Amino acid sequence: MDQSEALGVLEQKYSRRTFIKGVIATGATVSSTGYLFRGTPLLGAAAFQTATERLLSLNVNGQVRRVDVLPHETLAMTLRYKLGLTGTKLGCDRAECGACTVLVDGVAQYGCSMLTHQVRGRAVTTIEGLEDPDTGELSTVQKAVMDEGGFQCAFCAPGFIMSMTAMLQDNPNPTREEAAHALSGNLCRCADYDKILNCAMRAAELARSV
Amino acid sequence: MAEKLVGTDIAPPDLHAKITGRARYAEDFRAPGMVFAKLLLSPMPHARVRRVDARRALAMPGVIDILRADEVPSRDGPREACLTDYPRYEGEPILAVAAVDEETAAAAIEAIEIDFEPLPFVIDPLDSLRPGGPNAYVEGNQFSGQDGWSEFRWTAEDFAVIDAGGMPDPSCPVEWTKGDPDAAFAESALVLEETIVHQSLTHHPMEPRSNMAYWEGDRLFAFVSTQSTQQTKFALASALDMDPENITFVAEFCGGGFGSKISGTTVMQVPAIFSKKIGRPVMLRVTRYEENYIGRARPGFQSWLKMGFLPNGKCNAIDLIIVQESGPYGASDYATAGMIADLTYTPQNMRFRAVDMFTNTPPKAAQRGPGGAQIISMMEPILEKAARELGVDRLEMHRLNAPRGDVKFGPRDSTLTSVHAIEALERGAEMFDWPAKVALSGRRDGSRVTGVGIGLSPYTAGSRDRDGLMIIRPDGKLYVHQGIGNLGTHSIADTARPAAELLGLSWDDVVIVWGDSSKGMPRSTVQAGSQTTHAHTRANHAAGMDALQKVREVAAATMGGAPSAYRVDGGRVSGPGGTMTLGRVAERAIQMGGRYDGHVLPEDIHEQTIPAAQMLAGQGLMGVARDNYGGEGNVYSWVAGFALVELDEETGVVALKEYVGITDCGTVIHPRSLGAQVLGGSIQGMGMAMTQRWVFDPKWGVPFANRLYTARPPGMLDVPPDLKWDAVGIADPTTPVGAKGIGEPPVGAGAAALTCAVADAMGGRCLCRTPLTPDIILAELEGRTGVGRLEQHVG
Ligand code: FES
Ligand code: FES
């Protein structure tokens, strides 16, 4: 990886700053309450076009999806409310919990803190995109979670599973401590950390055996 | 041979949905024409709305309507409405606006002109107890259904003692005494007197309490986030003053509640009423910021404790005074705290006094281990302090004071069904290697000092007398209908196991039916007080026995011979006349009708079960029964927690290095899930004691901490990656399956193990307060005073 690529990855990793920069560039404001979005004709509500939406082509879970997006719309909102992908959860909408974690070009990102405009031309993977689209077979990480009976309420699960998926790409052979570090951007309020780490270690084991 | 289901690791049937994004939590539902509501929250802790001008907001394109307090149910006295013109805490919802999208609704909220008259407020309950102090309500600071509002104060003399750092002798509305505490203290070899401050803290479940509703004619469809299901539906019906049978109530998944969503119906009323008003589905998405205010909180305690000990370390007297910070709508943690103090230390002589004071802080509700977690995390370090002063080993001290099976506790000499706290302590000491670890106490490594501690924590863990309802259908599968909620503990599936075992079924042939009232639910508990596992293993066992008996009777009627001669296993019933599949039995049951297929129901089942059973009648062989197993005594479970920490004296930071949690919760149903409860609950307790902090501004009465990062629950790096747990695993003899609940007790154990370990690292000095954040620890290490009042949680 040359330096400019590496910097690109770094910038993606620290997306909150990019997010704010993006918001400033589009002249939109971020509301202090978070969690705001515009409706969609999909829901049957007539959306009010006071801000300009732009039709984008997004690559989500291997499919090209065309969608009208506001300049300040977050990826999590587009996924949940325009593309019907409600597996991506919103726990805080403010980069505090990781429930909204998705992969952008294979890198774990907080979907709540990234603008949809930022992912143009990039590959977005959500929890719905992990199964084999033809056979429905679960991904390695998902299988590991099934094996270990992971999670309690599981509101955090999609985010953790996406982070585990990214972790295995970076470090296929983690120690328990390394796994804990890799997953520390995700919060589990049920604090099922022990079992989540078991899942991560099992996933690494399964990945090595294929 | 029947498959063994109780005591094995079986992933819950909803796990696949949870990990593929298919699980639908409340905010994942959509309805055609759905619009969005936003709330306007009070910016001040106590006020009266003088005037609202919404003309500009209502004229905005896309805005549909406004919902005001006078359009929602309200009751006199300190009772919460979903919208109010008399906000009693910062963040209380005043009104709601609906618009075609959420941004428009939020912009409309900003465009509303609203004029508040600020009113005096109370953040620290002691302020309201002082002579001439402020009240949280215009009408007073105490309320009784009989006598209405009044003012309650302590005397100037009481406060002279308090302000001098002493223990007052005040009058309190709640008081009980057993034995002769004064005489016992006179006999004590050691008497410790401490002031205790336990913070109030918001629940912050991962899923905010977003919800959606719409109507079709007179029928309400509600999609909500709640811990319970059937009982929440009834609570919502009663709040809306409507027939519960006219609600289709959908609560398939719940992203955590920890007590804050036992029913959680307050916020559900907004979309329900608003959607009726405007004739369109309404989604109310609750933000994390809003969750901090409306999402409930554990009440704080300010407390004085006197504990007497005999020379051998046995506690012989307790005098406990609790002032509870109850928020605007009250809470009852203090009562449980008194009971649990008596149960855990068995002093025989105890005086308990309490006063719960309304305050203008976010509303309080049970939070995992309500009352117990606060008092245990504060009293355990005092017990360990006494051990040090008397020269008794701390493990021995806990063992000596823990209750035996014949314990009588509380003002009415309550008893227990079973208790194995001592076994939990002993098993934990072995796994933790207490003798080796206690030898490390006080070890220094640069500025880091090692401390170890033990927390023993009980909590209620069961109830009786619910109903079970299940059907064997012609497909040969057992459909277990659950009215309990899917709050993340897996009890929704695990409590069905005893019935499946009785019927010799493999788990693949069991279908759990839950989360949608239109599918039929039996009378169930609320998911609170860790009742569910106990209550519904019993209820499902009873219904399973009923189904078993009916299967045998159907087999005998079909194939001849006596019912008792038939055995059920592997999806078949076999006996003298031959063998038939359970699917065939179900078909025969439908033909035979009557009680076999649910057309005739047992007379003793609860009224709330009847509509569901009637709806399901004729669809297969019905097992339906009330839990008539009875039983004497209170059901309590226990967790003994052992912690090793390193305290950095330079930074005040505490690092948890090792933790072991051992539970006595009777028969283990689902080991892996139990481990998650024991450790997860312990970690929540550690968050309460260490990482999370709720801070108020005393001048303006508003919370400073209002998001996750300002009152941060423990993350993965706050705990060691190799936590350990185990269960004593001794069946409770008074319940057919032997299982008790587990949700609550680990919180106190985790918190207390930590507060004890920190005290140990500080050479035995009790801070007697939470949270143990670095600034508070440093203040103590530097000898600054500051322990005492809740107000000192401020800055
Ligand atoms: S929802 Fe994005 S980090 Fe919490
Ligand atoms: S399992 Fe509930 S938040 Fe993680």
| Cβ distance of A189 and B256 shorter than 8 Å | yes
Calpha distance B172→B318 (Å, rounded): 17
For residue B394, pLDDT over 90 is answered with yes
Cβ atoms of residues B293 and B706 within 8 Å? yes
**Which residues in chain A have Cβ-Cβ distances shorter than 8 Å to B489?**
152
Calpha distance B490→B494 (Å, rounded): 6
pLDDT tens-digit series, residues B416-467 = 999 999 999 999 999 999 999 999 999 999 999 999 999 999 999 999 999 9
Query: B37 is written with which tokens?
Result: 């509501």
Instruction: Give all strands (DSSP E) within B111-189, no chain letters.
Output: 113-118, 142-144, 148-150, 174-178
Mean pLDDT along residues B225-239: 97
Cβ atoms of residues B91 and B362 within 8 Å? yes
Mean pLDDT of chain B: 96
Calpha distance B492→B490 (Å, rounded): 5
To the nearest whole percent, how much of chain B has pLDDT over 70? 98
**Which residues in chain A have Cβ-Cβ distances shorter than 8 Å to B10?**
149
| Cβ distance of B716 and A99 shorter than 8 Å | no
Does the beta carbon of A93 sit less than 6 angstroms from any atom of ligand 2?
no
For residue A91, pLDDT over 70 is answered with yes
pLDDT tens-digit series, residues A97-110 = 999 999 999 999 99
Query: B279 is written with which tokens?
Result: 């004739």
Query: Minimal Cα–Cα distance from A2 to chain B, Å?
Result: 32
Q: C-alpha distances in angstroms, B740 versus A164, B262, B361, B522, B626?
A: 34, 19, 35, 20, 18
Chain B CB within 8 Å of residue A60 CB: no
| Cβ distance of A193 and B719 shorter than 8 Å | yes
Q: Which three-class secondary structure state does DSSP give residue B23?
A: coil
ipTM of predicted assembly, 2 dp = 0.97
Cβ atoms of residues B716 and A180 within 8 Å? yes
3-state helix, strand, coil in chain A (%, to 5): 45, 15, 45
Query: B356 is written with which tokens?
Result: 């719960």
State the pLDDT confidence band at A21, using cuts at 50, 70 and 90. Answer: low
Q: Which helix (H) or strand (E) holds B183?
A: helix B181-187
pLDDT value of position B767: 86
State the pLDDT confidence band at A1, using cuts at 50, 70 and 90. Answer: very low
Mean pLDDT along residues B558-562: 98
Does the beta carbon of A187 sit less than 6 angstroms from any atom of ligand 2?
no
pLDDT value of position B317: 98
B490 — alpha (psi -120 to 50), left (phi > 0) or beta?
left
Q: Of B320, B322, B349, which Cα lies nearest the Cα of B408?
A: B349
Residue to mutate among B24, B34, B103, B291, with most A CBs inside 10 A, is B103
Q: Which three-class secondary structure state does DSSP give residue B650?
A: coil
Q: Return the number of other C-beta atoms located less than 10 Å from residue B150's C-beta.
A: 11
pLDDT value of position A31: 37
Q: C-alpha distances in angstroms, B10 versus A72, B13, B24, B671?
A: 44, 9, 22, 9
- Tell how far the Cα of B721 is from the centroid of ligand 2, in angstroms: 17
Cβ atoms of residues A46 and A109 within 8 Å? no
State the pLDDT confidence band at A46, using cuts at 50, 70 and 90. Answer: very low
Q: Hey, whose CA ends up nearest to atom 3 of ligand 1?
A: A95
Q: Return the number of other C-beta atoms located less than 10 Å from residue A132's C-beta.
A: 9
Q: Of B639, B664, B665, which Cα lies nearest the Cα of B740?
A: B665
pLDDT tens-digit series, residues B499-534 = 999 999 999 999 999 999 999 999 999 999 999 999
**Which residues in chain A have Cβ-Cβ distances shorter than 8 Å to B206?**
89, 91, 97, 99, 153, 155-156, 187-190
Residues ≥6 apart with Cβ < 8 Å to B667: B6, B7, B729, B731, B732, B737, B738, B739
Calpha distance B276→A168 (Å, rounded): 49
Q: Which three-class secondary structure state does DSSP give residue B215?
A: strand
Cβ atoms of residues B737 and B616 within 8 Å? no
Chain A, 61 to 120: residues with Cβ < 8 Å from chain B are 80, 85-94, 96-97, 99
**Which residues in chain A have Cβ-Cβ distances shorter than 8 Å to B208?**
91
In the block, tokens 């039709």 appear at A55
Residue B632: half-sphere exposure toward Cβ, Cα within 13 Å: 6
- Region B297-462+633-781: CATH code: 3.30.365.10
Burial B323-355 (b: 16+ CB within 10 A, else e): bbbbbbbbbbbbbbbbbbbbbbbbbbbbbbbbb
Longest dimension (CA), chain A: 54
Q: Return the number of other C-beta atoms located less than 10 Å from residue B506's C-beta.
A: 12
Q: Which three-class secondary structure state does DSSP give residue A83?
A: coil
Helices A3-13 and A15-25, packing angle to 10 deg: 90
Cβ atoms of residues B124 and B135 within 8 Å? no
Residue to mutate among A130, A189, A195, with most B CBs inside 10 A, is A189
Mean pLDDT along residues B543-569: 98
Ligand 1 atom with minimal separation from the A101 CA: 2
Q: Would you say the C-alpha torsion B552, B553, B558, B564 has a positive or negative sign?
A: positive
In the block, tokens 């314990």 appear at B407
Q: Return the number of other C-beta atoms located less than 10 Å from residue B442's C-beta.
A: 15
For residue B741, pLDDT over 50 is answered with yes
State the pLDDT confidence band at B783, using cuts at 50, 70 and 90. Answer: confident
pLDDT value of position A38: 56
Out of A50, A183, A191, closest to residue B683 by CB: A191
DSSP secondary structure code for residue A156 in this structure: T
Calpha distance B508→A123 (Å, rounded): 38
**Which residues in chain B have Cβ-Cβ distances shorter than 8 Å to A163?**
none
β A123-125/A54-60 pair status: parallel
- Helix (H), strand (E), coil (C) string for B317-332: EEEEEEEEECCCCCCC
Ligand 1 atom with minimal separation from the A113 CA: 2
Mean pLDDT along residues B748-767: 96
Partners of B575 in beta bridges: B578
Mean pLDDT along residues A105-129: 97
Q: Of B289, B401, B372, which Cα lies nearest the Cα of B751?
A: B372
- Tell how far the Cα of B680 is from the centroid of ligand 2, in angstroms: 9
Residue A116: half-sphere exposure toward Cβ, Cα within 13 Å: 28
Calpha distance B573→B557 (Å, rounded): 12
Mean pLDDT along residues A38-59: 63
Query: Minimal Cα–Cα distance from A204 to chain B, Å?
Result: 16
Longest dimension (CA), chain B: 86
Does the beta carbon of B511 sit less than 6 angstroms from any atom of ligand 2?
no
For residue B791, pLDDT over 70 is answered with no
Give the chain A residue nearest B713 (alpha carbons): A189
Assigned CATH class of B463-626: alpha beta
Calpha distance B666→B417 (Å, rounded): 10
Chain B CB within 8 Å of residue A137 CB: no
Query: Minimal Cα–Cα distance from A99 to chain B, Å?
Result: 8
Calpha distance B293→B202 (Å, rounded): 8
Residues in chain A: 210
**Which residues in chain A have Cβ-Cβ distances shorter than 8 Å to B688?**
none
Does the beta carbon of B256 sit less than 6 angstroms from any atom of ligand 2?
yes
pLDDT tens-digit series, residues B89-137 = 999 999 999 999 999 999 999 999 999 999 999 999 999 999 999 999 9
pLDDT value of position B409: 98
For residue B39, pLDDT over 70 is answered with yes
Chain B CB within 8 Å of residue A164 CB: no
Chain B CB within 8 Å of residue A52 CB: no
CA angle B715, B717, B722 (to 5 degrees): 110
Does the beta carbon of A156 sit less than 6 angstroms from any atom of ligand 2?
yes
**Which residues in chain A have Cβ-Cβ distances shorter than 8 Å to B679?**
191-194
Partners of B572 in beta bridges: B569, B581
State the pLDDT confidence band at B697, using cuts at 50, 70 and 90. Answer: confident
Does the beta carbon of A79 sit less than 6 angstroms from any atom of ligand 1?
no
**Which residues in chain A have Cβ-Cβ distances shorter than 8 Å to B19?**
127, 138, 142, 145-146, 150-151, 154, 157-158, 161
For residue A191, pLDDT over 90 is answered with yes
Q: How many CB pairs under 8 A join A and B?
A: 219
pLDDT tens-digit series, residues B1-13 = 456 999 999 999 9
Query: Minimal Cα–Cα distance from A5 to chain B, Å?
Result: 30
Q: Would you say the C-alpha torsion B129, B133, B138, B140 has a positive or negative sign?
A: positive
Cβ atoms of residues B571 and B509 within 8 Å? yes
**Which residues in chain B have Cβ-Cβ distances shorter than 8 Å to A77?**
none
β B219-223/B315-325 pair status: unpaired
- Tell how far the Cα of A126 is from the centroid of ligand 1, in angstroms: 14
Give backbone dihedrals phi and psi of B157, rounded to 5 degrees, phi first: -65, -40
Helices B582-592 and B532-559, packing angle to 10 deg: 80
Cβ atoms of residues B776 and B768 within 8 Å? no
Calpha distance A99→A158 (Å, rounded): 7
End-to-end CA distance of chain A: 27
- Tell how far the Cα of B104 is from the centroid of ligand 1, in angstroms: 23
| Cβ distance of B679 and A187 shorter than 8 Å | no
Cβ atoms of residues B382 and B347 within 8 Å? no
| Cβ distance of A153 and B9 shorter than 8 Å | no
| Cβ distance of A38 and B104 shorter than 8 Å | yes
For chain B, the domains span 297-462+633-781, 463-626
Give backbone dihedrals phi and psi of B402, rounded to 5 degrees, phi first: -65, 150
Chain B CB within 8 Å of residue A130 CB: yes
- Tell how far the Cα of B228 is from the centroid of ligand 1, in angstroms: 26
On the question of a cis peptide bond just before residue B771, with omega within 30 degrees of 0, the verdict is yes
Cβ atoms of residues B790 and B197 within 8 Å? yes
pLDDT value of position B710: 82
Give the chain B residue nearest A189 (alpha carbons): B206
Calpha distance B744→B458 (Å, rounded): 8
| Cβ distance of B206 and A99 shorter than 8 Å | yes
Q: Which three-class secondary structure state does DSSP give residue B716?
A: helix
Out of A47, A155, A196, closest to residue B25 by CB: A155
- Tell how far the Cα of B434 is from the centroid of ligand 1, in angstroms: 40
Residue to mutate among A50, A53, A138, A155, with most B CBs inside 10 A, is A155
Alpha-helical runs (H) found in B402-462: 421-432, 434-438
To the nearest whole percent, how much of chain A has pLDDT over 90? 73
Partners of B315 in beta bridges: B309
